Structure 1
């Protein structure tokens, strides 16, 4: 398999050589955060209408009036139509010979101070699928494949990147666009290829290895290397002509291996979309995920309710809530729209977008260039941030559950990924949410962290080695593994010291418990109680639920264990409480997690007092200041969208005096004023009013 990665190494070297130049000129990307991603996947239909009303000056003025300062605009869309004067591809027939849509948008946009990114579709092209089917990806049965290997009879299937397509069409067109237009960046779409069994992939593998595929895994690895090579070639094509032009692709950041090649990361999230009910939590995890890279990043969303080109629109409040969360994390708001087939924009929509971007503009001076101020670390083993859209979305439940539980309870956190661990001592506590076995280097780092005074909250199978049938950090956690519970569900019976704010009866936890006993010196904080019978049993229908069961007898194992190790402390919950919290809607389990952090005396430098869970707090630092971002939104009980702005009044922040200087804070955003008091240890700042988004800025000590 080593030969699989040899092809393209020269290309990689070239790409990395251009990287330094690209990084030195990409500051504008993260500074122009009010972006529109302007789709224009337009068929050649209704010739009397198509692109007959395009006027570049009016088009750009509409965007500028809405405070847009960067634009992703089409060079080529999914239907194979080019929107520029091409000598290689097919120019959309609706464009008159004298009209160069891309060129006019670039010229007029840059006159008005906008940065222009040229969109180019790679993986989906309907003319290729119809006219050159031999270039399409194929599964083991020779069938065409769409995204994630799906079988799509209606189109949108993937073109193979090992076919002649890349060399004969993609690279020449990218060269043409870069050479002929003063674009600021290239934005590539649809490069997530599949394990492919087409003639081109089979031939490439046999040339490299002297034999056919022996397994599907070999086909998958070839696809991964093919994607790497294709991205490298596209980058080199652009950079050889204009090194200052940035380039990246949709999903950049998903595969860490490709991140060093690109100038920025870009991942889609769609809070408020009808087709993705968990998008609010997934978008939060995605932003935390992108922050791990030393790259500017954007979160691509859209103004539509039903997905791209839906021709409906979200409420202004929903778009503002989405934009506020992105800005609060230091990202670029890449808000999707679609030009009408006539070539016109919807003025009413841009009045709404203008309201959103005017609001964000007031806040962005404190957002751009800010970095997270660490408090709690959320530890993760490598995972696919796009798994939510695949056949096994549940693999993200533990991380999404932990993210939601922490932010709902007012804990600011950062995602820390195995293989890219920061300095752990900066975190007041680290949470391991059902992460499974971890690497020896992670074991060593976490053991040292606790020994030197760190706090760990460990749940479920975290650090469990199924081969050795033991926890890799058993000595740190203070537990002896006895086996797995014979039941698929269980109950927690909490001790008084960790039951604050929770009901005092047994708490159903619909997940399989690890049976553990405390080591010498460790303390049980709660018992594990069995269900009366296994929920799958026929008898359970007597209780009217085929998945759950009433409580039975107390087990001989502990449900929660606390242990001091060195100068630090670990609490272990023997059930997958974060996964269960998200997947099974057991709302009280986030209260359990909150109480376990408090039990370890994990202190908060900043706390919002007595606030509803509609308030999310994100801590940033910039230019010697602490920036406290407060985002306040309520989701409609049926639509999962923000339909109204609901102000909060007399909201109090507690800020540690050890953290900030004795200066009056600056307030940005929706608050109309504040009062400030102090205690021996803290400053208390009471905001008169919090609408959707506000920032409270202190000078750090």
Structure 2
């Protein structure tokens, strides 16, 4: 490959079906790239409908895989093989993009040659992925040390060799606190106290933003002006994107459900990212578990579920793989990926140029990062199961485009958010406030305590909004109570349901509709006075209310969303659904079928598309939720709010005409499919 290579691919077209081709190859592997054949390398990707492959310039071991005089070049790579250059050329010849990967905070070569560059914790121990240096694991580099310049030199060489690049993927980019001498000196220059953990974290964020600004400026010079894909810093929390988008042209979401992320991760993060309007791709992995599980493949149904979910959230698809050190893609891997990407490619034309439509905003605390805790995950699961079309947004988001807002237990309602919610309410928007969010002041998020305890009040006694349907809000005494539900479909009115977690006392205002009242036990349970195995039985209803609706506001005095996450009781979800039915009696979508069915809506210039995604992860090992088969949908009713009758309704990508009825407000169809993912495409004017 010669310097100044011209990329003939269209840089303005964002990749749709990608592979992240890991190549972390230790220095003791002797035959790196031995079987690599540039004439055949790209064919498996092309056959699998792949349009972009991220290839490696530098791995976690700190080794380089291109032609260079730098000593970090992998010792097992033949001197006459410029592996990266030949990979890029082969992929480009096949019409496939080739973004380039470099590892940042994990670099074993640099850590061995310069141990002083490794980050140090508060005990001046080196930061590692493992507690002992005698265990296999990565060292973590400190970007306040001269390592930042070392990496810049590597990046500069890659950019000079390969410009114009299809994109740069910089990995391992979290904010790393450190007490190295460079970090200590840097904190003192900034007026920060190295002995203060919060100051160390603030400095780590500052260091990250500085290197992102520096490296982005370098990469931008190597990108075509019209490129939509630029540099991406993997490992940064997506909730930080409102501040960090200045460094990016696009977003990538890494989330392997079996690799520690779980199946609740993507729906939460995708709903937060998509309102930002940035091109976004997501990638799972072909691995049974996580990265490095090289000799295991996941079932096709799992990969189909994960990529169909990406498509339904308006993201483009990605699958992680690991290339064998000898440089030949494994046929079995690309047969698997191709079988899934074939389906995705057939679906893409029906959502081309479309946007995901949401009518409810879930307001979350961005300080919780990408691990949002019990109340937010409980909210996402409940809203998905209720077929609500919603986004996840920070408190500073523009709420004007949403018909309703849900504020969960762990979101502090400070003065600014309180005033913004009041203005939103005056403009006609509906509001659901849960637990501590009913009071202006703040919360102590349950996430900070591992997500196992209820959110607690941290101050505030003033109502978060004027005109609440309840009064007398105050922390209730500890102890179990029960909920007597009224007018909640599917919940018996004569069977009080246990209420888990702390609560607020509340009385209904005149005219408010009460959906749940508090029922007291005979007496509080204690070590010296108890009845039965778990809690004292319910006795009599009280004047306290647990959920009341009135004036466009639903007030939930119990930690409903957190409790739904922790305990999964169906009445909790039904209570939330009943409140939303009062506030939004005409939702965008209604759908029957199994509770796990996921629905999202995409609107194009000529159609509205309802994604139906039906798979059931099951816990089959102590830590893994696995998917083996799609879950068939049989005669499932689906209704889409539509003012005028449609031109046609089809089930895609099968091309099946669906019988439909239009009642003046909704178009109604019934769907049967065994494929796990299908789209109801409603064509209209």
Shorter-chain TM-score above 0.5: yes
Distance 1:27 1:418, change over 3 A: farther
| Superposition deviation, residue 115 in structure 1 | 1.1
The whole-number CA distance in structure 2 between the counterparts of 1:698 and 1:164 is 58
Residue 445 of structure 2 corresponds to none
Which of 177, 188, 194 is residue 206 of structure 1 equivalent to?
188
Which of 605, 613, 618 is residue 588 of structure 2 equivalent to?
605
The whole-number CA distance in structure 2 between the counterparts of 1:152 and 1:502 is 56
Distance 1:274 1:157, change over 3 A: closer
CA contact (8 A) 2:475 2:505 kept: yes
Residue 349 of structure 2 corresponds to 365
CA contact (8 A) 2:310 2:316 kept: yes
TM-score by length of 2: 0.89
Which of 554, 559, 566 is residue 571 of structure 1 equivalent to?
554
**Aligned: 1:349 with 2:333:** yes
Which of 281, 284, 307 is residue 323 of structure 1 equivalent to?
307
Residue 692 of structure 1 corresponds to 676
The whole-number CA distance in structure 2 between the counterparts of 1:102 and 1:613 is 47
Residue 283 of structure 1 corresponds to 266
Residue 248 of structure 2 corresponds to 262
Q: Residues 312-338 of structure 1: CA distance to partner in whole angstroms, max 9, x if unpaired?
A: 111011000000010111112221110
TM-score by length of 1: 0.87
Residue 457 of structure 1 corresponds to 432
Distance 1:574 1:462, change over 3 A: same
Aligned-partner SS, 2:212: helix
- The structure whose residues are more often helix, as a share, is 1
Which of 636, 640, 664 is residue 651 of structure 1 equivalent to?
636
Aligned-partner SS, 1:525: strand
Divergent runs of 4+, >6 A: none
**Aligned: 1:562 with 2:512:** no
Aligned-partner SS, 1:618: strand
**Aligned: 1:156 with 2:138:** yes
CA contact (8 A) 1:516 1:557 kept: yes
| Superposition deviation, residue 170 in structure 1 | 0.7
The whole-number CA distance in structure 2 between the counterparts of 1:83 and 1:436 is 46
**Aligned: 1:408 with 2:385:** yes
| Superposition deviation, residue 177 in structure 1 | 0.7
Distance 1:237 1:628, change over 3 A: same
**Aligned: 1:525 with 2:515:** yes
CA contact (8 A) 1:268 1:300 kept: yes
CA contact (8 A) 2:53 2:97 kept: yes
Q: Residues 610-647 of structure 1: CA distance to partner in whole angstroms, max 9, x if unpaired?
A: 31123211011122431211112122353522201233
CA contact (8 A) 2:269 2:370 kept: no
**Aligned: 1:226 with 2:207:** yes
The whole-number CA distance in structure 1 between the counterparts of 2:521 and 2:126 is 48
CA contact (8 A) 1:671 1:691 kept: no
| Superposition deviation, residue 174 in structure 1 | 0.7
| Superposition deviation, residue 364 in structure 1 | 1.3
| Superposition deviation, residue 274 in structure 1 | 6.3
CA contact (8 A) 1:79 1:126 kept: yes
Alignment of 1:525-674 (within 5 A): 525-532=515-522, 537-539=526-528, 543-545=532-534, 550-552=537-539, 554-564=541-551, 569-608=552-591, 610-636=592-618, 638=620, 640-658=625-643, 660-670=644-654, 672-674=656-658
The whole-number CA distance in structure 2 between the counterparts of 1:438 and 1:89 is 54
**Aligned: 1:142 with 2:127:** no
Residue 106 of structure 1 corresponds to 88
Residue 21 of structure 1 corresponds to none
The whole-number CA distance in structure 1 between the counterparts of 2:50 and 2:26 is 27
Q: Aligned residues, how many?
A: 648
Aligned-partner SS, 1:166: helix
Distance 1:89 1:557, change over 3 A: farther
**Aligned: 1:195 with 2:180:** no
Alignment of 1:181-192 (within 5 A): 181-182=162-163, 183-192=165-174
Aligned-partner SS, 1:462: helix
Distance 1:171 1:586, change over 3 A: same
Aligned-partner SS, 2:35: coil
Alignment of 1:476-555 (within 5 A): 476-495=467-486, 497-502=487-492, 504-532=494-522, 537-539=526-528, 543-545=532-534, 550-552=537-539, 554-555=541-542
CA contact (8 A) 1:175 1:241 kept: no
Distance 1:143 1:503, change over 3 A: farther
Distance 1:127 1:526, change over 3 A: same
Residue 437 of structure 1 corresponds to 412
**Aligned: 1:304 with 2:304:** no
| Superposition deviation, residue 594 in structure 1 | 0.9
Residue 237 of structure 1 corresponds to 218
CA contact (8 A) 2:438 2:555 kept: no
| Superposition deviation, residue 601 in structure 1 | 4.7
Aligned-partner SS, 1:82: coil
Aligned-partner SS, 1:67: coil
Aligned-partner SS, 2:618: coil
The whole-number CA distance in structure 2 between the counterparts of 1:625 and 1:540 is 63
